Amino acid sequence: MPLDRGIYRAFEDVVGVENISEDTAILDSYAWCGLVVAARKPITPEDEKKEGLLRYPFAPRAEAIILPGSTAEVQAVVRLCNRYRIKFKAFSTGWIGGNVPATPGVILLDLRRMNRILEINEKNMYAVVEPYVITGQLHAELMKKGLVHNMLSAGAQTSALPMAAFQGTGHLSQTTSNGERNVLAVEWVTPEGEIVRLGALGSSGEWFCGDGPGPSLRGIIRGITTPQGGLGVYTKAAMKLYHWPVPSTFRIEGVLPHYTPSEIPPDVMIRYFSFPSYEKMDEAQRKIGENETVFALMGFPISMVASNLAGSNQEDVELFARLRGMVQGPGFLVVVAGASQREFEFKRRVLEKIIDETDGRSLEYLDDPKNSGPLLWRTLRPSGDAKTICRATGYFGSIFPGHSQFLPITKHTQQVMNWKAEELIPKGLVLDDGGCAFPWTEEHGWFAHAEAFFRFSGTPESIKAVQQTVGRAWKLHLQNPVGVPFDAVGDQLHDLMGPSASNYHVWLRKIKKAFDPNGTSDSARYITARE
Amino acid sequence: MALEDYKRDMDMCIRCSVCKFIPLEMIKGYQHVNVCPSITKYNFHSYSGGGRVNMAVAMLDKRIQYTPKLLEIIYNCQMCGACDISCKDVMDMEVLEQLNELRIKCVEDGYTVPVLDRVMSNLRKHGTMMSGEKFKHGQWAEGIDVKNFTKEKSGVIYHAGCRMSSGKTLWRVARATVILLQKAGVDLGIAQEHESCCGGRAYQMGYKEDFLRQAKHNMERFRKSGATILVTGCSDCYHAFKVLYDKFGMRGDLEVLHTTEFLDRLIKADKIKPTNELPTRVTYHDPCHLGRLGERYIHWEGKEVPGHIRIFDPPKEYRRGTYGIYEPPRDILKSIPGLKLVEMDRTKEYAWCCGAGGGVKETNPEFALWAAKERIDEAEATGAEAIVTACPGCEQSLKDAIKDNRSLLKVYDIVELLDKATLRGGH
């Protein structure tokens, strides 16, 4: 149903005629969500009976696309949505399906025009950004000042705004932890159109703290798995900064796809270690975390190292065949960096001892700087993630048991990967990438992120197999909860998971009801106020 | 291949937005991260490479019909290929080929833009896509003693191109090129009044049949001349002769060189000696069709190998801009005594377009000017006194922006500088 002309003109008056459209050509380009994630989860017996689990790459069309250019415009649009009872959903760079409406009747706010870095405060070590500042931009500016922020492994093309993050975890999480730990003050347009300034911003106009002096609503605005457009619009936010132990200039040479650093700085090192068993790998990761030994740690199985290094799928196939014979089992990638040679040497020696104690083996292929240089840079600036995840097959599915204690979630993920290795790969239902899990520690080794990762070609059989495995993983999770999975979005999944996790879903509903009484902020990937 | 033949490629679009930015490894700061003029100006996702691909799927699925907006989106694109290159940093899929096929489909379906129809009508009538001021091909060469290759054999053809021939202010570049080459002992011929449009821009605009007709006509003439090398100073022509003619199996053995490649060879062979000091600081603008799109066409026919990872039999090599013509123009500049070359943030395979390509100069001159201004700002930020390029289209577009911006930046074709460095007083 097209918007009423009067309402459309009211939106137009706010953002200008050039920043709103309801043309079907524009709407359909926004409706495309690709073939990335096996979205539906056959968890309940009713789900399993349903036909048509296949996913059509187009989501429901939005009613209109609006490009607000400022907080004031966002506020005005949101107020109009409330006045006319129209659902809205805002997104920043918009990757992986979370940016599309799940139902018709929603207008989309593409925050692309809000793209300024507002402040880099070196003294107090925070940066303030708008939603469409991309990670690559902020990283490049921060490097010049010897600083770095928590960068998402979704890639340098995605938003740097911490509240835009689905989970906010990445290559540097060993040092910087995850999204929720990095949010300082936030400017928030509530679902009713009020502008709320959280943390220090609420009382002083400063951005240095998320918890005050001023209202601390960090937990409320984030929820358990972030509202993903279901609780208003985050228009500005500050995030913590950290010391960048790598030189401030990192010269990259070559022409695509062979970008490589001109040299590897003296106090920086990248290594890949493989282990004879998951137990040994887990032990190594825990010790590395406890000893604060590395700057970056990414739980890549060797197949993902191959995908990151390769310039094409053809190279990927050949390189993976070579590298898988050079590893002894599961593994991970680390970057060691020191602010001084002494610090670097100390860390390097500690790492060597840990690897020795855990029977780890360093991948010789990376001893050659020609091989390791590009991987180092694409780890320090997360710029190879789209290809690592998606180039091989176009489709991927991932099972995230959620942020929680390291061992329980890695055990869960490893179990799922055993299903993949023993059942899916032999039947040719997913890509044979060695079937290894994808975990990494955070916060001194006790906390972690883990994924069970599937790449597959998108045949009906492969989609069905992955969806069934996702459903099976959820059931395992419900029997033995180890955290709230990141893909817990929408009423059904929150209602399933809530009772196993302090009934968080009851609180989410209360929050939704209190802040969004008209239900205008699209709840499809959050929760509705419905009891 | 028709648009529907790319359906599997289109399905691979993961909407990651990498096509909107320069390759992520190469981002140097907040500024100059955008690579696509269209999405940078118009902001809606549809104006990006990925957005257009998504829209094309919707068209093939018959979810959307032709609307004025759809055509406006399709044609507000310089076809500069920047999205294609950035995408190929992370994916194995074609983008620019699809955008081209999308335009071809529009023309075949009878949905065109009137201003482009007029341009094409001019091509059909007069053999040129330049409209407005009347001009005669070859007039630029008056007074120069150079062979007419349509009448006498010559080893090397120099093709000035419509833009160079039609703009009097650009004639000095063509004249200097001929004189430099002749002094280096090159057996050179031009077509004089018989020169005809390469047809490359017709193809970019979606008029494939017109392009093929031009290509056939030109190749017949080139073959008769007996020349083995064709040299052109226009990047659009270069791309057409070298890449598009080859794509359609029409180039044969003719070697196509851009003047910068040929002159660079001659300098390295000591046949041209830049000896005059030019104490100036310049930056170099890579024309899209010489740079990222200037690499050879790769013929491939095969099929996808069944399985999960998307590979082909025989293996498919993608054109990723790796072998574009980047170093010859830079080497020429570096060979000029006293001249200092400083680089812009966006160079080589991820250079920002001058704004004039893909018919945008004709359909939306304001947008073309806006894109050129962005480039001028970037050039000014280097502290250069001049921006040097190797394409008359880029030169004109950049000049327009400088005039509009009241910038003090000078614009040169690389040949002009070499000429100054080689012969006192130039031409």
Extended strands (E) in B369-424: 386-389, 410-413
Percent of chain B with pLDDT over 90: 93
Record: contact B21-A157, CB cut-off 8 A: yes
From the CA of A318, how many Å to the nearest CA of chain B?
A: 11
**Which of A66-75, B133-142, B293-302 is least confident?**
B133-142
Q: What span, in angstroms and rounded, lies between the C-alpha atoms of A110 and A90?
A: 6
In 3D space, the residue among A123, A121, A128, A112 whose CA is nearest the CA of residue A199 turns out to be: A128
The whole-number pLDDT of residue A422 equals 95
Other beta carbons less than 10 A from residue A251's beta carbon: 9
Query: Is B289 domain-assigned?
Result: no
* pLDDT at site A486: 84
Q: Are residues B89 and B153 in the same domain?
A: no
Q: Are residues B243 and B203 in the same domain?
A: yes
Please tell me the distance from the alpha carbon of residue A399 to that of residue B158, in angstroms, as a whole number.
61
Question: Do B172 and B60 have their domain in common?
Answer: no
Question: CB burial class (10 A; 0-12, 13-18, 19+) of residue B137?
Answer: buried
pLDDT, averaged across chain B? 95
Least confident of A137-151, A476-490, B274-288, B306-320: A476-490
From first CA to last CA, the distance across chain B in angstroms is 46
Would the pLDDT of B170 be above 60?
yes
The pLDDT of residue A55: 57
Q: Closest-CA residue in chain A for B347?
A: A255
The secondary structure element, H or E, covering residue A129 is: strand A126-129
Q: Are residues B186 and B264 in the same domain?
A: yes
**Span B213-220, average pLDDT:** 97
Q: For chain A, which residues make up each domain, given as ranges? A: 5-113, 117-243, 256-479
- Residues B80, B15: one domain? yes
Which chain B residues in 339-358 lie under 8 Å from chain A, judged by CB atoms?
Answer: 348-350
pLDDT of the residue at A214: 79
CB proximity A69 to B under 8 Å: no
Judge whether B243 lies within some domain. Answer: yes
d(CA A419, CA A405): 22
First to last CA, chain A: 28
Query: What's the pTM value of the predicted model, to 2 decimals?
Result: 0.96
- Taking CB atoms and an 8 Å cut-off, how many pairs form between chains A and B? 200
Q: How far apart, in whole angstroms, are the C-alpha atoms of residue A12 and residue A20?
A: 6
Q: Is residue B323 a part of any domain in this protein?
A: no
* B181 and B232 fall within a common domain: yes
Contact check, Cβ <8 Å, B315/A93 = no
Q: B23 and B62: one domain?
A: yes
Q: Which residues form the domain of B102?
A: 1-111
Å between B267 CA and nearest CA of chain A: 24
Nearest CA in chain A to B327: A255
Assess whether B123 and B252 both reside in one domain: yes
- Inter-chain CB proximity B11 and A458 less than 8 Å: yes
Give the per-residue pLDDT at B104: 98
* B398 belongs to a structural domain: no
pLDDT the model gives residue B352: 98
CA dihedral for A498, A501, A505, A506, sign (positive or negative):
positive
Ranges of chain A with pLDDT below 50: 38-39, 51-53
Instruction: Write the ipTM.
Output: 0.95
> Does domain A5-113 fall into CATH 3.30.43.10?
yes
Residue A46 is predicted with a pLDDT of: 66
Q: How far is B136 from chain A (nearest CA, A)?
A: 40
**CATH fold of the domain at A117-243:** 3.30.465
CATH superfamily of A256-479: FAD-linked oxidases, C-terminal domain (3.40.462.10)
Question: How many domains does chain B divide into?
Answer: 2
Q: Is B373 on the interface with A (CB under 8 A)?
A: no
Q: Is B15 on the interface with A (CB under 8 A)?
A: yes
The single residue listed with the structure tokens 């994924």 is: A451
pLDDT tens digit sequence for B41-61: 999 999 999 999 999 999 999
Report which DSSP code applies to B34: B
Res B426: pLDDT:
45
User: In sequence order, what are the residues at sequence separation of 6 or more whose Cβ sits closer than 8 angstroms to the Cβ of residue A238?
Assistant: A119, A126, A127, A128, A183, A184, A185, A186, A201, A207, A208, A210
Is the per-residue pLDDT at B108 higher than 70?
yes
Question: Which whole number is the average pLDDT over B26-44?
Answer: 98
Q: What is the pLDDT of residue A15?
A: 98
Q: Which of B251, B268, B285 is the last residue of a domain?
A: B268
pLDDT at B427: 46
DSSP letters, A316-373, are: HHHHHHHHHTT--S-EEEEEEE-SSHHHHHHHHHHHHHHHHHTT-EE-GGGGSHHHHH
pLDDT for the residue numbered A482: 85
